[in-house]
């Protein structure tokens, strides 16, 4: 993802989101406890996934 335009990983940041991926200054993905991928999705997309039972 870091090769995508606008996606960055902060340098020198500590604490929550320090190893996450950011776009436009906002965190959108990170590894929880270094194991599980957590992503932030728009509400409309979440509604679609829930409606489809995913």
Tens digits of residue pLDDT in 1-54: 889 999 998 877 676 766 789 999 888 999 887 788 899 999 999 999 999 998
In this structure, are residues 34 and 18 in contact, taking their beta carbons and an 8 Å threshold? no
Assigned token pair, 6: 């606008």
Is the pTM for the entire model greater than 0.75?
Answer: no
Q: Is 8 exposed, middle or buried (0-12, 13-18, 19+ CB in 10 A)?
A: middle
What pLDDT sits at residue 1? Answer: 85
What pLDDT sits at residue 21? Answer: 92
Three-state SS for 23? strand
């Amino acid at each position: 993802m870091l090769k995508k335009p606008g996606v960055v990983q902060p340098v020198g940041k500590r604490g929550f989101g320090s190893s996450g991926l950011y776009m436009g200054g906002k965190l959108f993905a990170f590894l929880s406890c270094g194991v599980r991928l957590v992503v932030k999705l728009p509400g409309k997309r979440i509604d679609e996934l829930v409606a489809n039972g995913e």
